[in-house]
Amino acid sequence: MDFKKAIENSMDSLVQDIAALCRINSVEGEEKPGMPFGEGVAQTLEAALKMGADMGFRTENFDGYVGHIEMGEGEELVGILGHVDVVPAGDGWNTDPWGGVITEDKIIGRGVLDNKGPIVTCLHAMKILKDLNVPLNRRVRVILGTNEETDWRCMNYYLNEVKPEMPTMAFSPDSEFPVTYAEMGLLQYTLTRDITEKIEIEGGSAFNSVPSSVKAVLDKSLEEAVKKAIEESAEKDAYLVETAEEGLVVRAMGVGAHAARLYDGKNAISLLMDLLAKLPLTGELKEVVDFYNEHFGMCLYGEKMGVDCSDEDCGPLTLNVGKVYTENGKLIFCCDSRIPVSFTIESIEEKVQAKVAGTGYTYEQASTERPLYVPRDSELVKTLMEAYSKVTGDYESQPRSSGGATYSRAMKNCVAFGCLLTDQEDVMHQANEYLEIDKLKIWLEVMLETIYQLAK
């Protein structure tokens, strides 16, 4: 099929439609009747559904949680999974983040990349197929979620209450090209112990972030020992000491990162515990420091916890301690593991429990996400790769695995596919989110070829 002319003719309205959708602020807001995630999200869902209806597609709104836009006939269903909600604008914008600004060569606004631009691109690709009367054997359905950026309650409602027909195969254009065919399992847990002595250690903000800073308050008598330990440390600049009324405040500064890429960061808790190990500590504080260094230390891959493992698809398991704090006589470590797809979450959980048994720490699961895995030689992955390579000429990039969790996990036989191109700047969730129009044209070409190949 040669779609060149149709693509050329669609570009103007595609740009206008993306900008229009980005002019509605769809950050999650206060729940209202029929609007589980607030007015802006509900309006955006309605606007997207109207866009689909105006193109001549069937649409349906499931109580404001999820919307469908469907084309074609056939037994089987190809799913395209996206979302209409966005993260807050944040500071640092040079234009109105809700302006849907169109310049000569780009569209600027919150959501142009994540995820309104990709959704609207898929709709326009479907419209081209429809207008050209291209014969297709499978139906194509865009499935629009409404709170992907927060806690995926939209998908829970959809899967558990609506219980929809499931696509035979699906992709989620909410990541990058080419295909992400494996996403590691996720296990988050706390390790908690009782403390009766006064211990002050506090740092990190979330399970899934490498903490960039942590502080401990020590007895002032340790001042000389602390200074000496810092002097001898290979990471001298990572520490700050000051004497305050409450005691000797020691801070460790690391480098923040997402836990899925913890090797890009430096864990401040590990740096602090490494320093504290060199001090003449006693009592419960010494026990805490020893426990940390025996079970985590500076390891990134769970070696000391005895959970290190890896496979060909995903590489090694990662283990991040994202947060430590004390509360009501307890000290709590918050841990995040990304688990290669060949290993079960349960097997890792059992190992952690066995390892900490008898140490005085209690294991408690905080959350899990099943892994995603669609074989590289499956029809889905092969078709997506072929469509991508044919359009872009990029035959070098390979299907990838990731520690991150995309929306594609919500469904079986679904992978993340696009839309960030390999040479496109990733400004998702950042100020001045923009989409170049020449990149957008490539998106449309890839999506058109992809939807055609999957549905024909």
- Residues at the interface with Zn ion (CB under 5 A): 114-115, 174
Which CB sits closer to Zn ion, 93 or 407? 407
Query: Within 13 Å of residue 396, how many CA atoms lie on the same side as its CB?
Result: 2
Which CB sits closer to Zn ion, 115 or 146? 115
Query: Is the peptide bond preceding residue 419 cis, with omega within 30 degrees of 0?
Result: yes
Give yes or no: 274 in active site. Answer: no
Single-letter amino acid, residue 47:
A
Which CB sits closer to Zn ion, 114 or 445? 114
Q: Which of 448, 390, 395, 397 is nearest to 180 (CA)?
A: 397
Q: Which of 121, 210, 168, 227 is nearest to 443 (CA)?
A: 121
Cα angle 445, 435, 61 (rounded to 5 degrees) comes to 75
Which CB sits closer to Zn ion, 144 or 268? 144
CB of 89 to Zn ion, least distance (A): 15
Q: Please, what is the end-to-end C-alpha distance for the chain in angstroms?
A: 11
SS3 of 114-159: the string is CCHHHHHHHHHHHHHHHHCCCCCCCEEEEEEECCCCCCCHHHHHHH
Single-letter amino acid, residue 154:
C
CB of 114 to Zn ion, least distance (A): 4
Give the torsion sign (CA, 272, 277, 282, 285): positive
Which CB sits closer to Zn ion, 211 or 403? 403
Give yes or no: 364 in active site. Answer: no
Query: Within 13 Å of residue 15, how many CA atoms lie on the same side as its CB?
Result: 21
CB of 111 to Zn ion, least distance (A): 9
Q: Which of 357, 375, 372, 200 is nearest to 288 (CA)?
A: 200
- Asked whether 377 and 194 are in contact (CB, 8 A), the reply is no
Coil, helix or strand at residue 16: helix
DSSP-assigned letter for residue 409: G
Please state the separation of Cα 122 from the chain's center in Å. Answer: 21
Q: Which of 324, 322, 357, 296 is nearest to 199 (CA)?
A: 324
- The single residue of 85, 274, 287, 433 carrying the catalytic annotation is 85
Which CB sits closer to Zn ion, 108 or 144? 144
What would the two tokens of residue 293 be? 């260094």
Give the torsion sign (CA, 61, 67, 73, 75): negative
CB of 47 to Zn ion, least distance (A): 18
- Asked whether 364 and 192 are in contact (CB, 8 A), the reply is yes
- The single residue of 17, 28, 114, 148 carrying the catalytic annotation is 148
CB of 261 to Zn ion, least distance (A): 17
Which CB sits closer to Zn ion, 177 or 333? 177
Q: Which of 135, 92, 121, 91 is nearest to 22 (CA)?
A: 121
CB of 405 to Zn ion, least distance (A): 11
Bridge partners for 163 per DSSP: none
CB of 85 to Zn ion, least distance (A): 8
- Asked whether 35 and 41 are in contact (CB, 8 A), the reply is yes
Which CB sits closer to Zn ion, 114 or 433? 114
Q: How far apart are CA 431 and CA 97, in angstroms?
A: 8
CB of 427 to Zn ion, least distance (A): 13
CB of 406 to Zn ion, least distance (A): 8
Active site residues: 85, 148
